Structure 1
Amino acid sequence: MPYQGSEKETLRASLDRHRDAVVWKLEGLDDEQLRRPMTPSGTSLLGLVKHLGAVEYAWFMETFGREVEPLWFDPGEDEDMRADQGETTEQIVSFYARARAAADRTITELSLDGLGRPSWRDHTVSLRWVLVHMIEETARHAGHMDIVRELIDGATGDRRPE
């Protein structure tokens, strides 16, 4: 964490910390464990990763008029929350990595005051607002993943043990 970094560096480092926790939560589990619905609503580790990839693309790319890769699922129908459309673990993890990389390009290229308009909202937002929103979104779901992971194998924490 850049304790005396610029505003953008600090926001980006915070987002990356939570993004890295999301990926770490998948380590050491088999495909069945990653897909296993652990709540009555069907929450699974892979479903949460798929959702986070979709929202990275939506907020960082669509909002600022940038190209998004074609999706094989419909986020509007909550298909982004489930890993059950025949996709592989590798497909979902790679999707999240590509979404992160695309979002990072937007973060690098735009100023914090850069404005965009999500197609699903009736107002413009700044990159600063999107970064804060995505820190909140990613941290929220990383917390869900922490609980799900604990239910699967007892592992907890927000980062790899030293």
Structure 2
Amino acid sequence: MTTKPAAVHVPYTGGEKESLHACLDRHRNAVLWKLEGLDDERLRRPMTPSGTSLLGLVKHLGSVEYGWLRTAFGHETEPLWFDPFAGEDMSADQGETTAQIVDFYGRARAAADRTITEGSLDDLGTSWNGATVSLRWVLIRMVEETARHAGHMDILRELIDGTAGDHRPG
């Protein structure tokens, strides 16, 4: 899969952008940690009546990173092979490999990081629904979205093999 990301700690006295970015990275790393050690069948196994799976959540988070942190600010994204507005980002189709989805998330994350690094918290963009949003608001939204789904992934992982926790130990 991927190399293990280094532990990220939100600085106790950091600046606003640095702290928001570190918080987002901390939850992003938890998302990847939830995948470690599982085979393809368990990664894509639907664990809820709605079909939620670990790999489907990673695919969704990749599309959300592109949408909120690239498209909203007028930056290019890679072409998607699925339609997130039709809910196709929430499942891992059998034609998609685990590596394809995890790599997609990594590319989306790297592209989003460029927007964060190069931008100002007061930069304005336009969301998918036409609302004007600041980079500050989007970072808060992304922390919320990623933490929410990392929590879902924690529950799914515990149901799969008993592994629990919000972040990699140590």
Alignment of 1:61-140 (within 5 A): 61-84=70-93, 86-118=95-127, 120-140=128-148
Q: Percent same amino acid at aligned positions?
A: 76
Compute the displacement of 1:122 (Å).
Answer: 2.6
User: Hey, what does 1:152 align to over in structure 2?
Assistant: 160
- Identify the match of residue 60 of structure 2 among 51, 69, 73: 51
CA RMSD of aligned residues (A): 0.7
Compute the displacement of 1:59 (Å).
Answer: 0.2
What amino acid is the match of 2:155? I
Compute the displacement of 1:85 (Å).
Answer: 5.1
CA shift digits 1:117-149 (9 cap, x unpaired): 02x223210000000000000000000000000
Which residues of structure 1 form unaligned runs of 5+? none
TM-score of the superposed pair, with normalisation by structure 2: 0.93
Asked whether the 8 Å contact 1:73–1:85 carries over to 2, the reply is no
Compute the displacement of 1:61 (Å).
Answer: 0.4
CA shift digits 1:59-110 (9 cap, x unpaired): 0000000001000111011110000151100000000000000000000011
What amino acid is the match of 1:160? R
SS state of the match for residue 70, structure 2?
helix
Tell me how many residue pairs correspond in the alignment: 161
TM-score of the superposed pair, with normalisation by structure 1: 0.98
User: Hey, what does 1:23 align to over in structure 2?
Assistant: 32
